[in-house]
Amino acid sequence: MALIGGLTNLTDTVSKSGIPGLAGIPLLGRLFSQDSVERDRSELMIAIVPPPDPASGVQRRESAHDPGGNAGHHQVELCAPGGARRAGPAGPAAGTVPAAPRPILSRARRRQAEPRRRPPRHPIAGLPAPVSPGPPAGGHGNGAFPARQHGCGGRGGTFTVEMVLDGGTDVASASPVTIGFRSQAAQPLGCHRRQPVLEGWAATNSFEEHHE
């Protein structure tokens, strides 16, 4: 049985084993047979996150699950053209900005088997975990991790975001992936793919601007 609802895929596998003939005897047959139910629950998670800063040397940790797919109260802060570099405890370190925690994507894949139960799998396995220097402002307990920022000063800073996917099985296409932004505030400098898990995918990119 496979139930697909939204981003959750729940699969129950019922299997019965036993000694042929004896297992079919009413009542006594249960002594010679075994029933098992295996439940596989996977959640497909998609998020837009700032990537970790490799120079920080801090590894990201798992963040809270946000099935709504929204960044919630988290945000990236960076300098606009002519903006001053922030300093002090509340400000970002040079070249980085304290930013948003991993807003959206997280994966919780739990596999239960009866009578044997398996522990839940750690969400977002394989994805870099967010840095957690402290509780994020207005956050839900998600860790915050730095986003790279360059050119803070005369020119506007640059920042990088990633759309990440986790929990998918047999994923063959993701299209269209659309990323919207206010073009007066920021302009894209380019996009590319990084993770080898998606190697072999054919991609076409385009950038458009709409003026309303």
Partner 1 sequence: MNDMGLATIQYSRPQGAAGVSGPGTLVTLRFQALGHGATSVTGNVTVRNSRGLAVGSATPRLPVNLK
Footprint of partner 1 on residues 47-76 (CB under 8 A)? 47-51, 69-71, 74-76
Q: Tell me the C-alpha distance between 203 and 179, whole Å.
A: 15
User: What SS3 state is found at 44?
Assistant: coil
Segment interacting with partner 1 (CB under 8 A) among 18-26, 27-35, 57-65, 164-172? 164-172
Is residue 195 a contact residue for partner 1 (CB under 8 A)?
A: yes
Nearer to partner 1, 12 or 77 (CB): 77
From residue 73 to residue 102, the character string flagging contacts with partner 1 as x (rule: CB under 8 A) and all else as - is -xxxxxxxx-x--x-------------x--
Minimum separation from the CB atom of position 78 to partner 1 (A): 6
CA distances from 178 to 70, 77, 181 (A): 15, 22, 10
What values do phi and psi take at 30, rounded to 5?
Answer: -70, -25
Contacts made by residues 12-16, CB under 8 angstroms, sequence distance 24+: 12/37, 12/38, 12/39, 12/40, 13/37, 13/38, 13/39, 13/40, 14/38
| Binding residue for partner 1, selected from 26, 119, 154, 170, defined by CB under 8 A | 170
Contact status, residue 105 vs residue 164, Cβ threshold 8 Å: yes
| CA nearest to 81, candidates 159, 152, 156, 149 | 156
Q: Is 163 in the site for partner 1 (CB under 8 A)?
A: yes
User: Binding to partner 1 by residue 23, rule CB under 8 A?
Assistant: no
Residues 31-50, interacting with partner 1 (CB under 8 A):
44-50
Q: How many residues bind partner 1 (CB under 8 A)?
A: 92
CB-nearer residue toward partner 1: 30 or 207: 207
